[in-house]
Structure 1
């Protein structure tokens, strides 16, 4: 393989037959020039992705250590999840992390308003995010706020096979947050975010939104629904108000049977 462009000390563009690739390895470009033969024993990763040009631009603009840290996080995530992530992760996570690290060095801290929901909905990905924060501290010597673990979790989740679109994932998580806020306002209670009943509510509301897309239908017979409405009147009123706000602000309508299930979760919260 011959070097066609040096991106930084640890990354070069090479030609392998008729194909252009990006080779990454510690010191792979040390004392090298264009048209030199790359030492294959120094290659740790070889990228053949559709967005090679974007990756080249990114690698030429950010500190080398940021790319190295990102790749170590990606390797850890793939091992932790037992699956390969979409190749786009090498661009989006590296770009995001580099920007986040520079922000923190400048004392700019961005809060993640969806932190609590992400912790619950994407537990494995959030654990990877926490590992990433520890790893960054070990490598760079300073702390990154926990909010960043949630941002990393979203990127990891959407790059999983069938993980979905990042914007859609953020939108759904935002809707879930609004649904919970609606319940809190109605009940006028403080909900402990580490409580198991809260976790169950969040999980149920997530699947409620999925069912709204037609993936699954929850059915409850009329007699059971009427019993729930009478026995847990305030909780059903709370569920109904939440549903009205959901329809008004997000254009999502829930069937009354679904409100019956949500009522049961709200009733659990009231008894905590």
Structure 2
């Protein structure tokens, strides 16, 4: 930013809504930037720590409403956390993270104060699917805990990791959660079918979970895979239990995603299932 802005509305001492020379709104953050400011007053670049755009009017209003009900210290802390996330990934984040993460962390702190512990059923899958996001989420939660002298539960790391992944990929958190829930369901089906308790750190387990993630993404985007008819016939003959289970998983995917799943997916799923079942049986 190298041009001055004009104050449109002061949200708190550290956050103001400003307009640029083209009349576009910006959310401007800086320590004490809003203190004593009035509408129309100028803001100079050196006063600004962070600046972002919320182009969606509903998101603008949601963020403004949030700031009215949140302690300024927490707002500043969450913005520092977002800067940390952006720095760790060395790329721009979808600006929706300002609304989503502020809302989520604020609610998480309230739940902690009220001694409400909400379990995260997808923690293992999230850590497996998005390892870097999970690591950065751990750092974010540690920053919050140390700054506020609190201890947010481990499950919050998983939730924050999903928000980070959403901001990086421009996918909605709702869709990401839906896919995580589907993977959780599929993995439970696999465990029940094999009647085994899997080592969630094993390479074959990790490969299968990641394969399911990519399969779900392919189906969601409508990607077409080349059919593997000859290989399918071999696998059906050699590994009938894994092949039949693969088709059960595919039917669940189809029903959940409401989209057709290419037959070729059964081939790759069967190979992953066979490898996983063999590994765990050999390890017992």
TM-score bracket for this pair, using the shorter chain length: 0.7 to 0.9
SS of 2:66's partner is helix
Matched with 1:235 is: 242
The answer to whether structure 1 residue 28 and structure 2 residue 36 are counterparts is no
When residues 5 and 193 of structure 1 are mapped into structure 2, their CA distance, relative to the original with a 3 A threshold, is: same
The residue number in structure 1 matching 2:14 is 10
Distance in 1 (alpha carbons) for counterparts of 2:235 and 2:256: 26
**Do the aligned partners of residues 38 and 175 (structure 1) sit closer, same or farther apart at CA in structure 2, a change above 3 Å counting?**
same
Which residue does the alignment assign to 1:202? 209
Aligned to 1:54: 62
- Give SS of 1:94's match: helix
Return the alpha-carbon distance in structure 1 between the equivalents of residues 260 and 193 of structure 2: 19
Aligned residues: 269
Is 1:220 the counterpart of 2:228 in the alignment? yes
**How much does 1:56 deviate?**
2.4
Q: Does 1:257 align with 2:261?
A: no
Cα offset, 1:9, TM superposition: 2.5
User: Cα–Cα, structure 1 residues 60 and 225, in superposed 2: closer, same or farther, change >3 Å?
Assistant: same
Residues 225, 264 of structure 2: 8 Å contact kept: no
Equivalent residue number for residue 85 of structure 1? 93
Question: What SS is found at the alignment partner of 1:189?
Answer: coil
- Aligned residue for 2:115, secondary structure, equals coil
Are the aligned partners of 1:243 and 1:253 in contact in 2 as well (CA < 8 Å)? no
What does residue 165 of structure 1 align with? 172
In structure 1, the residue matched to 2:183 is 176
Q: 1:140-155 counterparts in 2 under 5 A?
A: 140-155=148-163
Corresponding position: 1:211 with 2:215: no
Could you say what secondary structure the match of 1:113 adopts?
coil
Structure 1 residue 261 displacement after superposition: 1.6
The CA distance in 2 between the partners of 1:230 and 1:81, in whole Å, is: 46
RMSD after superposition? 2.4
For the 8 Å contact 1:187–1:238, the answer to whether it is kept is no
Residue in 2 that maps onto 1:192: 199
> Cα gap change, 1:270/1:11 in structure 2, threshold over 3 Å: closer, same or farther?
same
TM-score between the two structures when normalised by the length of structure 1: 0.87
Q: Is the 8 A contact 1:66 1:97 kept in 2?
A: no
- Equivalent of residue 48 in structure 2, options 40, 43, 50: 43
Gaps of 5+ in 2: none
Name the CA distance, whole Å, in 1 between partners of 2:252 and 2:19: 57
Q: 3-state SS of the aligned residue for 1:6?
A: strand
SS of the aligned residue for 1:159 comes to helix
- Normalised by the length of structure 2, the TM-score is 0.84
CA drift at 1:221: 3.7
